[in-house]
Amino acid sequence: MGFVDFGVGELTGDEPFATNALLCMLAGLSGGLKCSNGYIFTDKVDGQQMHTFVSRAFDLLEERNFNVLSLTSDGNTANVAMFNKLGVEEKIVSDTTTLDDIVSVFPNAANADKTVGCIYDMVHMLKLWRNLIATCLDRQWEHGSVSWKYIENVYNLQEYEKIVAANKLHRNHIQFYQHKTKAKLAAQVLSASVADAIDFCRDDLQLQALKGSESTSIFIRKLDACFDKQNSRNPAQYGSKGPLRESNINERAAVLRDFAQSNLLMTNKEKTTRKGVAFFKEILIC
């Protein structure tokens, strides 16, 4: 409750009402620390305001001898502009662009001798991938076409037959427009179980509606594996969901890098996609 307040002077009474609080959080890499560093009341923010806010946070942390290794955010426009102002370069400039051309680290705003990694939150990136695939028709990558229609066809078949092929597809997964902020829906629809259902309907049931869906199921399966490898929480887990260790870091880095490179120049007809680049930096930083 209150007015927009960036904390740089006394309020005059002409400010608009605040609708959000922009919060900076600290999280320890090895656990044991998770607390707020500061906040401001906002109506809406742009890249310059985000840059100023984050730079102030870097100053305060440097004064107290914190060593900041990464900055994590979701992929909205203001955050993308903020990272660009900090020195991140993520544009695809030609068909020969590689992962090495994308700069995913930037100098600490309070100490140029230190570098900070740019990370777009993986869960939010899944929602962007889901939105991209569902709204941009057929996407083309090295394995062929990636199409949302195959996911819809599996859902429609399950609804008609009243049998579920071991997945969690629900009406809300397909008609997600009223539930765009629910990350769980994006994670469940772009999951290995959905890819298994697509393969089963195509290969075992020989359904015409799933013909040509091989590329889509490959994409979903690889994206799900990348999500699991970056979403490990429990040290007792195994496989892709197991914790990152010295013994598996090279294997995981290779999987993530291969998937990122193969999607870097994903296209929709004649136009190269830009929206997926945010996800690539998430992979790069690993």
Helix ranges restricted to H, the chain: 47-63, 77-86, 122-135, 149-161, 171-174, 183-189, 192-199, 214-229, 249-263, 277-285
What pLDDT score does 158 carry? 95
Give this prediction's pTM: 0.83
C-beta of residue 256 within 8 angstroms of C-beta of residue 286: yes
What pLDDT score does 285 carry? 44
What pLDDT score does 6 carry? 78
What pLDDT score does 85 carry? 93
What pLDDT score does 9 carry? 66
C-beta of residue 173 within 8 angstroms of C-beta of residue 189: yes
CA atoms of 57 and 71, how far apart (whole Å): 11
What pLDDT score does 161 carry? 92
What pLDDT score does 242 carry? 84
CA atoms of 80 and 277, how far apart (whole Å): 11
Contact residues for 137 (Cβ-Cβ < 8 A; gap 6+): 147, 148, 268
What pLDDT score does 94 carry? 66
What pLDDT score does 37 carry? 87
Which residues on neighbouring strands pair with residue 268, listed in sequence order? 271
List per-block mean pLDDT (blocks of 10 residues) for the chain, which spans 286 residues: 75 79 88 84 88 92 94 90 90 72 90 93 89 85 91 95 92 91 93 96 94 95 90 78 86 88 72 45 45
C-beta of residue 213 within 8 angstroms of C-beta of residue 147: yes
- Report the b/e string of 108-121 with b at 16+ CB within 10 A: bbbeeeeebbbbbb
The domain segmentation of the chain, as residue ranges, is 20-120, 123-285
Q: Does the CA dihedral 152-191-261-86 come out positive or negative?
A: positive
Q: Are strands 267-268 and 144-146 parallel, antiparallel or unpaired?
A: unpaired
